[in-house]
Amino acid sequence: MQPFTYEALPARVIFGAGTLARIGDEVRALGCKRALVLSTPEQRGMAEDLAARLGPLSAGIFAEATMHTPVEVTQRAMEALRALGADCTVAIGGGSTTGLGKAIALRTDLPQIAIPTTYAGSEATPILGETEGGKKTTQRTLKVLPEVILYDVDLTLSLPPGLSATSGMNAIAHSVEALYARDGNPITSAMAEQGIAALARALPRIMRDPTDREARSDALFGAWACGVCLGTVGMSLHHKLCHTLGGSFDLPHAQTHTVVLPHATAFNAPAAPDAMARIARALGAADAATGLFDLARGMDAPTALRDLGMPEHGLDRAADLATANPYWNPRPVERAAIRALLDDAWHGRRPGG
């Protein structure tokens, strides 16, 4: 056994069905009395139901969370927080809402509860990505890690199959990169493989029957496991590319991860054979990169950047941005190779095809 360092993240995790009924107790356990409920505009109804459940513990609702956590949206949320006298936040929804809760915590140190309704996994990480002026920056700090994560399988039953697929592929990306991370360790690697396997097993079943509760439970567990991996080790090329494409070209987050993942995996495959073997084993596939591509394609998930609205003329700029600042990756990051990777992803070519 090689020496390693593993740092567990200090968060309380509640997992099950019907767990939303415990939200009032969790707010009180944090010593809070006025929770600001956060959501996207599309999930306002869910936020209103949650606020009603909280009763006098609810300070109000801010339903303007949006993709990539724009700084200007966070500033409006901060104004609402102060005006309502809130002493904590409860974020219900996917990565956009979780990101807003984290952005508020960064600025206030107020406790936060995350209630995920997708498989993004960001609720399990001390990582925050924010956009300002068309650029996305990320930082890692325990200040943004939610104190409580409340997983309720019932809340995922209404997640449309298409969003389930891309959200799940987004989660798998966290574990893929964890398996070849520079600061990887056997604990995180075991969890990464388990997370990929749970999602790869569950997602096709969800596509066939969105009400399959066992599949929904497996997917939600897998998303948590993958999120923990993202939170405990560093990420590399795949996440750099997705942050560049999302922040600079306003591409949808989960869909971008879905498209880029097979190509980033193929790029790194020669430099990380052990990781590739574990990914392939978790997928039940002969090859990691093609297994990921075929999983996405089999669910009718997007496989080409051009279908997400990425302009072909933007590929050069994306390659420039993705290679502008040095960062660790198992295979050296060179502009020509990254430009070729992006071209494959733009056209939706099957890796190795």
The C-alpha atoms of residue 175 and residue 192 are separated, in whole angstroms, by 5
Contact between residue 310 and residue 246 where contact means Cβ atoms under 8 Å apart:
no
Question: What is the pLDDT, as a whole number, of residue 247?
Answer: 85
Statement: residue 1 has pLDDT above 80 = no
Q: Which residues of 304-321 are buried (b: 16+ CB within 10 A; e: fewer)?
A: ebeebebeeebbeebbeb
Side chain identity at 305, as an amino acid letter?
Answer: L
| Average pLDDT of span 192-202 | 98
pLDDT bin (cut points 50, 70, 90) of residue 135 is: confident
Statement: residue 353 has pLDDT above 80 = no
How does pLDDT run across 5-64, given as a tens digit for each residue? 888 888 999 999 999 999 999 999 999 999 999 999 999 999 999 999 999 999 999 999
Question: What is the pLDDT, as a whole number, of residue 4?
Answer: 87
The C-alpha atoms of residue 239 and residue 235 are separated, in whole angstroms, by 6
Alpha-carbon torsion, ordered 161, 166, 169, 170, to 10 deg = -130
Q: Give the number of C-alpha atoms closer than 13 A to the C-alpha of residue 129, restricted to the C-beta side.
A: 21
Statement: residue 67 has pLDDT above 80 = yes
| Average pLDDT of span 206-219 | 97
pLDDT bin (cut points 50, 70, 90) of residue 70 is: very high
How does pLDDT run across 32-49, given as a tens digit for each residue? 999 999 999 999 999 999
Contact between residue 122 and residue 91 where contact means Cβ atoms under 8 Å apart:
no
Q: What is the CATH number of domain 12-156?
A: 3.40.50.1970
Class of domain 161-347: mainly alpha
| Average pLDDT of span 163-178 | 97
Question: What is the pLDDT, as a whole number, of residue 133?
Answer: 86
Mean of the per-residue pLDDT values of the chain = 96
Query: What percent of the chain has a predicted confidence (pLDDT) above 70?
Result: 99
Question: Could you check whether 12-156 and 161-347 share the same CATH topology?
Answer: no
Please state the pTM of the whole predicted model.
0.91
The residues spanned by each domain of the chain are 12-156, 161-347
